[in-house]
Amino acid sequence: MPGTKLIIIGAGVMGQGLAEAIATSGNEVTLVDKTTKLAERGIKGISESMNREIEKWGLTESDKKAIMSRIYPTSDLNLSEDAEIIIEAIPDRMDVKKDLFEKVDSIARKDSVFITTTATLSISEIAAATERPRQVIGMHFLNPVTKIPVVEIVKGLKTNDDTFAKATEFAEMLSKEWITVNEYPGFVTTRVICPMLNEAMHVLMEGVASAEDIDHAMKLGFGFNVGPLTLADMMGLDVVMSWMENLLHELAEHKYNACPLLRKMVRAGRLGVKTGSGFFRYDEEGRQLGPATHPAEKEKTL
């Protein structure tokens, strides 16, 4: 695996985390997005993430310099022509992913392995957009990628053993524990966590307890590092809602029907840490400042 040519397509939060993790492991990686400006914005996000670690004494300036030197931003998708492993990290929309995989399939060398980072979508359906479904596999990393030690390796219906072996080798290169998942909507982590987050939102919406008390109770009662509402803010409320909608579409089970409060907050552009406000308020560094007034509470005061 060392020396393997790696390309990440998508310089958003997931792409940034993967690029940093790969570069931290001592490997070079190319980070691709639609425009060079977007790719460079991804590089800026990685730099800011490492600056926060430096402030906590988790990294040194020399560590950062070495890691950043291994990441190359670009908008040239044709650079995937020689890549051995191509990692897709774009938004979780089936039509967009299939379009990308079809395009990359026509560019990449015949023995390249394609990895999708989807949290809820069908690996087999994504793979069907290519002429190499046996070489397509899912790897569901959790954010922040550099800190969460687990990854789900998801086999599509046609994924072969060699592709699975390369995926496990890649996971181990990143020092991740991995679990094997046979394709099913939501896999393991997303399917289990979404109903819990959704129910916490219902508890808040119904006025049973405050956001702070809900999170405090779940942390103390079940040993969670963060409470469910803080976790939803960290994931991005728009991301959580898209997962819920994908699961509802695939499984037609009411438990995946997104809480009305979640829908209101997404429509209002209150998406959590990335917008500075969700169930809680956040500063520019992502530090929690206290509870935010949510739409249901606002309506009660009118």
Report residue 58's pLDDT band, with 50, 70 and 90 as the boundaries: confident
Q: How far apart are CA 134 and CA 25, in angstroms?
A: 27
pLDDT top residue among 1 and 220: 220
CATH of region 6-182, choose from 3.40.50.720, 3.40.50.300, 3.90.380.10, 3.30.300.30 = 3.40.50.720
> How much is the mean pLDDT over the chain?
94
As given in the structure block, the two tokens for residue 77 are: 């998708």
Q: How far apart are CA 99 and CA 125, in angstroms?
A: 12
Residue 148 has pLDDT above 50, yes or no: yes
Residue 8 has pLDDT above 60, yes or no: yes
Question: What does pTM read for this prediction?
Answer: 0.91
Q: Are 237 and 266 in contact (CB under 8 A)?
A: yes
- In the chain, beta strands by DSSP E: 6-9, 29-32, 71-74, 85-88, 113-116, 136-141, 150-155, 177-182, 280-282, 288-291
Does residue 149 have a cis bond before it (omega within 30 degrees)?
no
Q: Are 88 and 9 in contact (CB under 8 A)?
A: yes
* pLDDT above 70: percentage of residues in the chain: 96
Characterise 97 by phi-psi region: left (phi > 0), alpha (psi -120 to 50), beta (else).
Answer: alpha
194-296: in CATH 3.40.50.2020: no
Structural domain boundaries in the chain: 6-182, 194-296
Q: How far apart are CA 89 and CA 96, in angstroms?
A: 11
Residue 61 has pLDDT above 60, yes or no: yes
pLDDT by residue (tens digit) across 158-203? Answer: 999 999 999 999 999 999 999 999 999 999 999 999 999 999 999 9
Give the model's pLDDT for residue 90. Answer: 95
Distance (Å) of CA 164 to CA 116, 124, 145, 170: 13, 14, 20, 10
**In whole angstroms, what separates CA 221 from the centre of its chain?**
27
Interval 41-69 mean pLDDT: 94
Report residue 238's pLDDT band, with 50, 70 and 90 as the boundaries: very high
Q: Are strands 6-9 and 85-88 parallel, antiparallel or unpaired?
A: parallel
pLDDT top residue among 293 and 214: 214
Range with the poorest average pLDDT among 35-39, 238-242, 281-285: 281-285
Interval 97-115 mean pLDDT: 97
Interval 203-227 mean pLDDT: 97
Characterise 236 by phi-psi region: left (phi > 0), alpha (psi -120 to 50), beta (else).
Answer: left
Give the model's pLDDT for residue 302. Answer: 38
pLDDT by residue (tens digit) across 245-282? Answer: 999 999 999 999 999 999 999 999 999 999 999 999 99
Give the model's pLDDT for residue 301. Answer: 40
Report residue 294's pLDDT band, with 50, 70 and 90 as the boundaries: low
Interval 285-293 mean pLDDT: 86
Give the model's pLDDT for residue 10. Answer: 97
pLDDT top residue among 62 and 294: 62
